[in-house]
Chains A and B, each alone.
Chain A
Amino acid sequence: MSETTTTVRSIGDSTDTGASDVQQMSMQQALNRALDEVLAENPKTVIFGEDCGRLGGVFRITDGLQAKHGEERVFDTPLAESGILGMSVGLAMAGFHPIPEVQFDGFAYPAINQIVCQIARMNYRSRGTLPMPITLRVPSFGGIRAPEHHGESLEALFAHVPGLKVVSPSNPHDAYHLLKYAATRPDPVIFMEPKSRYWQKGPVDVAHAAHGQATHDAGVDDGGSLTGARVVRDGRHLTLVAWGAMVSRCLQVAELAAEDGIDVEVLDLRWLKPIDAEALARSVGKTRRAVVVHEAPLTSGLGAEVAQLITQSCFETLKAPVERITGFDVPYPSGDLEDEYIPNIDRILFGIQRVLEYRRG
């Protein structure tokens, strides 16, 4: 990802005087608009899934798209995830660019065979003659008081599979640009939408992918700012690494830590495969302390991978072992208990405190 990390910048880092087109919209609206534009720009794009067509999706992400683009390009499928993804394989082999939806994270399990054994491998198997330009949208993570199978974090499962890319936006701006970017990739991308953030509004600059401004060089491909991690808050003492819905929580924690004189940097990883190791090295190389936060269970979660990447690049200067604040090693609980499961502010602050207190030897 070496070409990707030079344009990382923060919200508000604005020197732009040019043609920004900033609009307030929710992540729902941003995703809907992105899909609408992808359909208009690429006649090979097809969108389908359970309730994606006439209803417009249970979260209204595909709202209005069937009426506008027709039943042959936006359509409903049976309740059969292996069929949804199997059909995606066939469509991709025939030259289409499918954007299937698995209605909820936990419904991806019946489709794992198609995802792992077909979608991820077809390009390898065919020596590059059958690429799989599939963007699989998965409303993901918890936080909406939903029943079982509706609050799971599958990033480590997907990230472990060679041939898949995995990305999760934390805000409407990134949702819009990352989805449009993913939909133009020749490789399969698992697009994990943080469903608890669907309704949160934020500024979206539809003209420029880099946050808060046009790139300094108008000729730069905006894709450069879309393939790596992003520093969403600068800090000196410690780096919080997060993705999806945990980014906004970490920003809250950073504000609270500032009250105690601790200056926390927040790194939104965005891409969970491949991980932007250079951004991790740069951030933790500066702060020398790191806490990784994710909703998924602890054991073999992506936090372990992040901790290893940090250790690899920053071992000599780290002040303390990388801490992980995560969900627990239990099935995702029902809605009443999810506040106890998802890393909350106090658990993250405890993690920060443990890192701050650590002394060698």
Chain B
Amino acid sequence: MAEISFPLPDLGEGLIEATVLDWLVEPGQQVERNQPIVELETTKSALELPSPQAGKVVRIHGAPGDTINVGEPLIVFEVPDDTAGIVGTVPKDEAPKRRVRLSAVLDED
């Protein structure tokens, strides 16, 4: 298994930090992509942050009331090793299929 760390993104235009109001998930929990994971408050608004991906939560950073800087770790997920990179998909290992058959008279001179 591999770990993927998700840092706090800029939640507005040029915001530098956010305060944790309440975590909606806990370590060990399996989450889906876009599932709300945390309530945050910035100088502009309070909001629920959706999960950037599916996976098992390994660690969360910051207790309610703590301030986290943009770019610092917010949450760490555990994902299978064969999860694709950010681009593309893992090719399936399929049994080889054929339509062409070979027919040859091999003159072994």
Name A residues whose Cβ lies closer than 8 Å to a Cβ of B. 26, 28-29, 51, 54, 57-60, 63, 104, 143-147, 150, 195-196, 198-200, 237, 252-253, 255-257, 260-262, 335, 345-346, 349-350, 352-353, 356-357
User: Which of B90, B97, B104 touches A199 (beta carbons < 8 Å)?
Assistant: B90
Say whether A195 contacts B88, CB under 8 Å: yes
A144-B84, A255-B96 are contacts. A356–B102 as well, Cβ < 8 Å?
A: yes
Smallest distance from the beta carbon of B98 to chain A beta carbons, Å? Answer: 5
Say whether B100 contacts A144, CB under 8 Å: no
Say whether A143 contacts B91, CB under 8 Å: yes
Say whether A144 contacts B104, CB under 8 Å: no
Measured CA separation A224–B84 after assembly (Å): 34
A29-B81, A144-B88 are contacts. A256–B104 as well, Cβ < 8 Å?
A: no
Say whether A146 contacts B100, CB under 8 Å: no
Say whether A150 contacts B88, CB under 8 Å: yes
Measured CA separation A26–B87 after assembly (Å): 18
Smallest distance from the beta carbon of A32 to chain B beta carbons, Å? Answer: 10
Say whether A26 contacts B82, CB under 8 Å: yes
Say whether A237 contacts B106, CB under 8 Å: yes
A51 (CB) vs chain B CBs: closest residue: B86
Instruction: Determine the chain B residues whose CB is within 8 A of the CB of A145 once the complex forms.
Output: 88-89
A144-B84, A146-B88, A195-B88 are contacts. A346–B98 as well, Cβ < 8 Å?
A: yes
Say whether B89 contacts A144, CB under 8 Å: yes
Instruction: Determine the chain B residues whose CB is within 8 A of the CB of A350 once the complex forms.
Output: 100
Smallest distance from the beta carbon of A165 to chain B beta carbons, Å? Answer: 26
Instruction: Determine the chain B residues whose CB is within 8 A of the CB of A59 once the complex forms.
Output: 85
Which residues of B from 65 to 86 have beta carbons under 8 Å from A?
81-82, 84-86
Measured CA separation A21–B16 after assembly (Å): 49
Smallest distance from the beta carbon of B49 to chain A beta carbons, Å? Answer: 19
Say whether A200 contacts B88, CB under 8 Å: no
Interface size on B, residues (CB 8 A): 23
Name B residues whose Cβ lies closer than 8 Å to a Cβ of A. 2, 5, 81-82, 84-91, 93, 96-104, 106
Jot down 9 A-B pairs with beta carbons below 8 A, ordered by A. A63-B2, A144-B84, A145-B88, A150-B88, A195-B88, A199-B82, A253-B96, A353-B103, A356-B106
Say whether B81 contacts A357, CB under 8 Å: no
Measured CA separation A150–B85 after assembly (Å): 12
Smallest distance from the beta carbon of B50 to chain A beta carbons, Å? Answer: 20
Smallest distance from the beta carbon of A247 to chain B beta carbons, Å? Answer: 14
Say whether B100 contacts A58, CB under 8 Å: no
7 smallest CB-CB distances across A and B, nearest first, come from: A144-B88, A356-B104, A146-B88, A349-B100, A260-B102, A58-B85, A252-B96
Smallest distance from the beta carbon of A144 to chain B beta carbons, Å? Answer: 3
A26-B81, A60-B2, A147-B87 are contacts. A352–B93 as well, Cβ < 8 Å?
A: no
B100 (CB) vs chain A CBs: closest residue: A349
Say whether A353 contacts B102, CB under 8 Å: yes
Instruction: Determine the chain A residues whose CB is within 8 A of the CB of B93 once the complex forms.
Output: 200
Say whether A345 contacts B97, CB under 8 Å: yes
Say whether A345 contacts B96, CB under 8 Å: yes
A61 (CB) vs chain B CBs: closest residue: B85
Smallest distance from the beta carbon of B83 to chain A beta carbons, Å? Answer: 9
A146-B87, A256-B96, A345-B97 are contacts. A199–B102 as well, Cβ < 8 Å?
A: no
Instruction: Determine the chain B residues whose CB is within 8 A of the CB of A352 once the complex forms.
Output: 102
Instruction: Determine the chain B residues whose CB is within 8 A of the CB of A261 once the complex forms.
Output: 102
Instruction: Determine the chain B residues whose CB is within 8 A of the CB of A260 once the complex forms.
Output: 101-104
Given A63-B2, A353-B100, 9 more pairs with CB closer than 8 A = A26-B81, A58-B86, A199-B84, A256-B98, A260-B103, A260-B104, A345-B98, A349-B101, A350-B100
A253 (CB) vs chain B CBs: closest residue: B96
Instruction: Determine the chain A residues whose CB is within 8 A of the CB of B106 once the complex forms.
Output: 237, 262, 356
Say whether B104 contacts A353, CB under 8 Å: yes
Measured CA separation A297–B81 after assembly (Å): 32
Measured CA separation A104–B104 after assembly (Å): 42
Smallest distance from the beta carbon of A234 to chain B beta carbons, Å? Answer: 17
Smallest distance from the beta carbon of A253 to chain B beta carbons, Å? Answer: 8
Instruction: Determine the chain A residues whose CB is within 8 A of the CB of B89 once the complex forms.
Output: 144-145
Say whether B87 contacts A357, CB under 8 Å: no
Say whether A346 contacts B96, CB under 8 Å: no
